[in-house]
Every structure is written in structure tokens, then in C-alpha cells.
Amino acid sequence: MPHRSVKARIYQKTVLVLELLADEPFSSARILSHVLRLGNRQTQATLAAMAGKKLIQVEVLPDGNRVYGITSTGLAYINCDSGKPFESGKVHLATIPHTLLTQKIRLDLISYGASGWSSRRELYKRKFFTQVPDAAFRCGASAFVYAAEIELNIKSAKRAKDVFINYVQDMGDFDEPYTLLHFVIYFTPYPSAIRKFIDLYVPEHLRDRFYVHQIDFNIPFYVEQPKFVRDAGLEKFLGSTTVINWD
């Protein structure tokens, strides 16, 4: 590639990483490999170069894993006034799996055409929903509002009942201009348990507004020739014909 093209490509990939980190408290090399669309070694080299330029900060956790966060320099690089610089020593190990899986799901949903992603942290500040989801986004020409829940631990029946009652309260007709929420997607390793709660606590006429997609905890590095897993049900639910990459 010509030198100018190489520089442009490096700049583009740098911006993609920084834009994600500006929205997130931290990320991992595995997640960022999917942002960069690079394998393990190339991703590690790219992140090392960005850390060398003080655009990102690396923290080695007590378990030996590494996380990456954006610096004030990185925020200035992309002219971001709303992001918060990464603070070393404030990452809680217990929150890492949920945070990283949420990021992977975000990237996958973008493959389906999702836009306007808002994190739980943003939604909680706005006091928009009765039941604050892990994230919310829009998808399709109709711009319906979707809530995304990443459920890695099953709630008690009492807590689940409260959650689904609140979701139902926020739902309205599709042609209502002030409807807060149209659909809810659960991403979980325990789909049968979530479906049971939906059958118990969601009125029958609203159950088709909920979708449950099974996930696992494993997030591999990006591979150049990924295997595509077509989930026709999720495609239909999102009103998309795009194949999502669950690599």
C-alpha cells in the first residue's frame, strides 16, 4: 500500500478504538480486535503503539489480564468533550465479563444496523425508562426503540416480576409518538429461564415484543475469515436482512 494510504488506515483504526473507549469505562484486546478487524498479534501491536503515544492507558489486573482505557490525550485526539479519561485502579473484576459482553453485543448489533447506542450509565442519568436496561438503541427505517439486557445471572422470581412489569409499563403502540419502548432483547446463557419469566409476567399480547438470544462467556479474537452464524429469528425481530457475525 502507498505510504499515504497506510497512514490513513492507521488513523482510521486509531479513531475507531478511541471512539469506543470514549463511550466505555474500559475494554480488552479481544474486543478491540473486533473493532480493528485484526488478529491477536496485530491488535496487540496497534494497542502498544497507541499506548506509546499516550492515547490509551493499559492496566494489568490482579488476575493477569489487561484492560485499556482512553486518556485525556486520546479524548482530545478525537475532539470528544463528553468522555471521561480512564482511572487506573478502579476496575472491579466482578464487572468485567458483563462490561465486555455488552461491548461485543454492541458491535454485533451495529452489524444489523443498530444506531444511537446509549449505555445504562447514560440512561440512568436521563431517568428515561421505568426499567433502566443495560443499553438502548434504534434499528430499522421505523427507528423503533430497543432495550438490550445482558443477563449473566438469573434474578429471583420476585425481582424478575418487578423488572418485566416495569418494561411493560414503558411499552406503547407502534404509532404512538410518545412511546418510550417498543422491543426488549435478552442476551443470556440461560434462555429457557428468561422465556419462563416472560410467559409468567408479560401479558400475552406483548410477549412477541421480547426476544431471547443465547450467548456464552467466550469472546475470541477476531479472525480474518470468520464463521457466520445466521440467527433468522433475531434478524426478523430487528427487521434486518444483514447477517450478524457472532465469531
pLDDT for 46 beyond 90: yes
For the purposes of burial, counting CB atoms within 10 Å of the CB of 128, is it exposed (0-12), middle (13-18) or buried (19 or more)?
A: middle
Angstrom distance (rounded) from CA 247 to CA 233: 18
Angstrom distance (rounded) from CA 76 to CA 83: 10
Instruction: Name the segment(s) of the chain with CATH classification 1.10.10.10.
Output: 3-91
Q: What is the pTM of this model?
A: 0.88
Write the pLDDT tens digit of every residue in 165-185: 999 999 988 888 778 899 999
Angstrom distance (rounded) from CA 119 to CA 123: 6
CATH class of 99-238: alpha beta
Residue of 96, 119, 95 whose CA lies nearest to 106? 119
Q: What mean pLDDT comes out for the span 237-241?
A: 70
Instruction: Name the segment(s) of the chain with CATH classification 3.40.1560.
Output: 99-238
Pick the CATH number of 3-91 from 3.40.50.10470, 3.40.640.10, 1.20.140.10, 1.10.10.10: 1.10.10.10
Edge-first strand order for the sheet with 144-150 is: 115-119, 135-139, 144-150, 183-188, 210-214
Type and span of the H or E element at 146: strand 144-150
Write the pLDDT tens digit of every residue in 117-154: 999 988 888 888 999 999 999 987 767 899 999 999 99
Helix (H, G, I), strand (E, B) or coil at 78: coil
Helix (H, G, I), strand (E, B) or coil at 245: coil
